[in-house]
Structure 1
């Protein structure tokens, strides 16, 4: 489970997002990070039983994303993220395909999966897979349990115009216009404090698993 001190650290970081405060509270950061790594290890162990594509030797530490922001090209110059992010690639050990993602932030925690903003070549391949096998995708995203957990898949950000490879009268044009292919489920802070939360999150991810298989099949 995620400890309350981890959320306390993140709440204080929101109010004190500067290098001086962070250095003075480095021990709190390290303690929070270790909590997230330990949780990731538990979650990862459960996920390997659900998704055989996950690298058996994947290190939980490598799944926890850096808290340091790249501010070189950003107007927001705060040096640290106000959250912990955990990414489990659905195939192999590197990003660049479907994944399971946990965002830990006070009042804004969520579990997500799929592929957010694919690069051009991957986007083209996913659209082609949708064009060829849309019925397979629709069976996944239109299932009652999927909709209950993640909402309407087609309501993600779409292109304003039709992709040039496809016609406006394509019966699956709403899916082909998508920029991302993500299932998203909000999690309350209190849920992350529960001892069995890793199992609950893994169960949610089991409903994302078929979507990740569809996406990664497109990228083969």
Structure 2
């Protein structure tokens, strides 16, 4: 799907940090950009087979690509150009308020997945409420064999709180997730397979459980938590004893099932 010359350009871009190098290689950039646009169109079509909203919400592939050139106003002390490109596919047409499917293109570090990284308290709180209210559904998505096979590293977060947010039970089985400031899962392609001579194939794994996780996040943003009990407390009382010590570890089996934590090959 991607021409190796596109990766070659990005690799050379990381080696030559002088301002004039980019302009001297403008033709290579134009060719790489065109190749990325073509790859984006293919991804929109492929991901649309699993999530039909994606083609409708992303009519212009150019708006799905991140920029290579940094804004000089915010790049003091940093190279003028980035060596990676993200293809972001948003299913509702609003990148600020929705999770994304993505493909990161970088020499030696290509990966695909889905993410919703947000630091605003209100939408993040709604997601946390949803995790608490639908804990069994959350558990089922993350522990599904298909999800763990597609995303062996489990969930990632750009940052996490030291403590569980105020108002949630600190001993809730999902306490580690309640501290997260965002959620993402990706599948790395260290040695991208060839899809034809000299070509590179790969697409976000929207059929490996990422779509289910994406949908739960989206519903979590729109719906408040169930009422009638304190947030983060199931059964009306905080857990005690051995149960209180069983904490959910991101990317691992839920310890609350079967009364004991099991082994995991997720990491």
Decide: shared fold, TM above 0.5: yes
Q: Unaligned regions of 5+ residues in structure 1, if any?
A: none
* More divergent stretch after superposition (4-13 vs 119-128): 119-128
Change (3 A) 1:26 1:154: closer
Matched, 1:101 2:102: yes
Alignment-derived partner of residue 210 in structure 1: 212
Alignment-derived partner of residue 188 in structure 1: 190
Q: What is the Cα-based RMSD across aligned positions, in Å? A: 2.1
Aligned partners of 1:37 and 1:61 also within 8 Å:
yes
Q: Unaligned regions of 5+ residues in structure 2, if any?
A: 223-267
More helix by share: 1
If the length of structure 2 is used for normalisation, what is the TM-score?
Answer: 0.74
The CA deviation at 1:117 is 3.4
Aligned partners of 1:99 and 1:113 also within 8 Å:
yes
Matched, 1:125 2:126: yes
Alignment-derived partner of residue 2 in structure 1: 2
Alignment-derived partner of residue 255 in structure 2: none
Aligned partners of 2:57 and 2:93 also within 8 Å:
no
Q: How many residues align?
A: 217
Which of 142, 162, 165 lines up with 1:163 in the alignment?
165
| Separation (CA, whole Å) in 1 of partners of 2:213 and 2:104 | 19
If the length of structure 1 is used for normalisation, what is the TM-score?
Answer: 0.89
Matched, 1:72 2:73: yes
| Separation (CA, whole Å) in 1 of partners of 2:148 and 2:117 | 18
The CA deviation at 1:104 is 0.4
Aligned partners of 1:114 and 1:211 also within 8 Å:
no
* More divergent stretch after superposition (98-107 vs 49-58): 49-58
SS, match of residue 218 in structure 1 = helix
The CA deviation at 1:119 is 2.4
Pairs within 5 Å for 1:126-141: 126-141=127-142
Q: Deviations over 1:24-66 (max 9, x none)?
A: 0011001001101101101101111211232515211111111
| Separation (CA, whole Å) in 1 of partners of 2:34 and 2:155 | 37
- The structure with the larger Rg is 2
Alignment-derived partner of residue 32 in structure 1: 32
Change (3 A) 1:68 1:162: same
